[in-house]
Structure formats: structure tokens, C-alpha cells
């Protein structure tokens, strides 16, 4: 049985697994390990101290997980108008070309610049429209 809800979204006859429900395998593993976390952690530490590189990596990843993002610093001109975005984009490309930013970092920053440019464009258009309507 399918149809639209009052919100306009579709429903189906099979809602699937309830939100937050875990599958049987996960539940079995959790039950098996219940109460053993401290002993297992201690064993991993002992193995790491004995030179087991896999255990050592596991312990280090728990102590200091790898960073997903790192702050970057490079000169970026202030953007107060949509036109300023072209200068900012040039600064990002220059930073990538000089090796101050990786291409991935440059792409992420360029996406931010573009998003901000669009925000500035809408703001500028809204101001112009308000001025025209006021005449």
C-alpha cells in the first residue's frame, strides 16, 4: 500500500528496519563482548608493548585518531562583493600552484569561495531590487 502523506512524501507498505535497530550479527557480537571490554583493551595494550605492530596501531588510533581536516593558512583577499570572488579564486589557484595548498584543499576552499560569491550576488541583487522598487 503506497501513497502520499499529508507532507507530500511517499509511503510504502514495507517501512524497513526501524531507526536505530541493529542486525542480529551485531547484537550477537555485542552480547559476546559484554563485560569483556576492559580485559580486551588490556590485552591489546600488552601486545602493543610487546611490539605487535597491529595492536600498537590499534592503540594509537584510539588514543589519537587521525585528523580529517587540518587548518590551512594562505593569503586570501577579503570578499565584500561578488566581483571580489574572482580575485579570491586567483589566490586559491596561486596557493595550489605554489604548493601552499594541496589540490584537494584548493577545491574545498574554491567551493567555499563560490558559495560565498553566490550569497553576495543574491544580497547585491536584493539591494538593487529594493532600490528599484523604492523609486
Distance CA(42)–CA(11), nearest Å, equals 49
pLDDT tens digit sequence for 79-126: 998 889 999 999 999 999 999 999 999 999 999 999 999 999 999 999
Q: Which run of H or E residues covers position 4?
A: strand 3-4
Three cell numbers, residue 104: 584537494
Quick one: pLDDT at residue 33?
77
Sequence spans of domains, the chain: 16-63, 84-134
Does residue 37 or residue 102 have the better pLDDT?
102
Whether the CB-CB separation of 96 and 106 falls below 8 Å is answered with yes
Distance CA(94)–CA(110), nearest Å, equals 12
Q: What is the greatest pairwise CA distance in the chain?
A: 81
Mean pLDDT of 63-78: 84
pLDDT band at 8 (very low <50, low <70, confident <90, very high): low
Q: Please state whether the predicted TM-score (pTM) of the whole model is above 0.75.
A: no
Amino acid at each position: 500500500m503506497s501513497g502520499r502523506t499529508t507532507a507530500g512524501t511517499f509511503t510504502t507498505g514495507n517501512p524497513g528496519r526501524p531507526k536505530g535497530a541493529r542486525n542480529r550479527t551485531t547484537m550477537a557480537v555485542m552480547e559476546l563482548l559484554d563485560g569483556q571490554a576492559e580485559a580486551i583493551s588490556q590485552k591489546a595494550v600488552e601486545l602493543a608493548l610487546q611490539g605487535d605492530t597491529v595492536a600498537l596501531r590499534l592503540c594509537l588510533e584510539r588514543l589519537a585518531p587521525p585528523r580529517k581536516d587540518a587548518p590551512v593558512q594562505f593569503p586570501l583577499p577579503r570578499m565584500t562583493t561578488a566581483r571580489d570572488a574572482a580575485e579570491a579564486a586567483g589566490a586559491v589557484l596561486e596557493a595550489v600552484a605554489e604548493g601552499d595548498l594541496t589540490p584537494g584543499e584548493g577545491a574545498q576552499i574554491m567551493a567555499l569561495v563560490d558559495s560565498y560569491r553566490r550569497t553576495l550576488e543574491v544580497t547585491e541583487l536584493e539591494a538593487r531590487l529594493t532600490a528599484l522598487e523604492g523609486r
